[in-house]
Amino acid sequence: MRGERRESREGNRTIIREPDRTIIREGNQTIIRHSEVDRFRYGAQDVRMERRGNDNVTVVVRPGGDRVVTVIDQNGFLLRRSRIMPDGREIIIIDNRPRGAGFAAGGGYGGFFVNVPPPVVHIPRERYIVEDERASRDDLYATLIAPPIERIERRYSLDEIRYTAPLRDRMPRIDLNTVTFDTGSWELSPDQVQKLAAIADGLNRAIQANPSEVFLIEGHTDAVGPDVDNLSLSDRRAESVAVALTQQFNVPAENLSTQGYGEQYLKVPTDQAERANRRVAVRRITPLLTGQNP
């Protein structure tokens, strides 16, 4: 990855481009971005790319006849993701189109972050952060459909959710401690893929009950190595898990989003190599996207 990176300056930002990812550093904030459309192509019968005005539209046609439609604006920001069924019925999965003040869609890097306080957690920790190896399938499913722990004030864009930790923390999460990675690797071994069966069952149950559900797969690393390397590595780990969930367990790819956080959120606070930190987590983000409370 290092040999394929190209670095440039755009104003007060440092832009580091990899063939399939872009790392943006501004001040003390560093984020990573990538397109998720390629992940939707698995098992596709046809893929079409169209230009509609200033927007780029990708239509992935599945063998059963349903279509996944992704609309991206001219700056590369997601505007809309939906699934159109063979009978013409449209299921809106993500709608990032602006609706009034305070909603950042396509607003540039500065619009990624939301100034919100950390939530006050009133539920038991074991229900707020669920360890998958200790949870039953019913417990995992219950977490995947759990409501926010605090009231959601408005709709948030996918990017606002991805890059604002106190906002994400309004939703319970599942730590997949049974799936960790070798140092420097984002590959899953066959036995680790099988350990995703329980979480895949919960995801499929939740999506069957509500086809518009969206879940964020979060990738992490330990603190060994340069932060840029770790950010890229963690993003690929999240994507690897999402791909496995789709290819091995038929979890709809379009109901999953992925994001890497590098070494920012260590599970075990240490600068040393620690397998427990090379992990992924899953949380439901639908209420944050829709602004709906129970």
3-state secondary structure of 220: coil
Give dist(CA 87, CA 91) in Å, integer.
Answer: 12
Alpha helices in 42-91 (DSSP H): none
Burial of 192 (0-12, 13-18, 19+ CB in 10 A): middle
Instruction: List domains and CATH numbers for the chain.
Output: 2-290 (3.30.1330.60)
CA-to-CA separations, 282 to 98, 138, 287, in angstroms, rounded: 26, 16, 15
Q: Is the dihedral of CA 141, 143, 144, 150 positive or negative?
A: positive
Taking only the tens place, the pLDDT of each residue in 96-107 is 887 544 444 444
Taking only the tens place, the pLDDT of each residue in 187-221 is 999 999 999 999 999 999 999 999 999 999 999 99
DSSP string, 176-206: EEEEE--TT--PPPHHHHHTTHHHHHHHHHH
CB atoms within 10 A of CB 109: 16
Of the chain, the percentage scoring pLDDT greater than 90 comes to 84
Check residue 231 and give its pLDDT: 97
Burial of 175 (0-12, 13-18, 19+ CB in 10 A): buried
Q: Of how many residues is the chain composed?
A: 294
Would you give per-residue pLDDT tens digits along the chain (294 residues)?
A: 778 899 999 999 999 999 999 999 988 889 999 999 989 999 899 999 999 999 999 999 999 999 999 999 988 889 999 999 999 999 999 998 875 444 444 444 556 889 999 999 999 999 999 999 999 999 999 999 999 999 999 999 999 999 999 999 999 999 999 999 999 999 999 999 999 999 999 999 999 999 999 999 999 999 999 999 999 999 999 999 999 999 999 999 999 999 999 999 999 999 999 999 999 999 999 999 999 887
Q: What amino acid is encoded at 272 in this protein?
A: Q
Check residue 28 and give its pLDDT: 87
Q: Shortest CA distance to 83 belongs to which of 75, 94, 71, 91?
A: 91
Q: Shortest CA distance to 114 belongs to which of 219, 29, 35?
A: 29
Q: What are phi and psi of 247, to 5 degrees?
A: -75, -35
Q: What amino acid is encoded at 214 in this protein?
A: V
Pairing type for strands 279-284 and 173-180 reads antiparallel
Q: Shortest CA distance to 167 belongs to which of 234, 112, 110?
A: 112
Give the orientation angle of helix 137-144 with respect to helix 197-209, to 10 degrees. Answer: 50
CB atoms within 10 A of CB 13: 13
Cβ–Cβ under 8 Å, residues 278 and 180: yes
Query: Residues 6 or more apart from 151 whose CB is under 8 A from it?
Result: 293
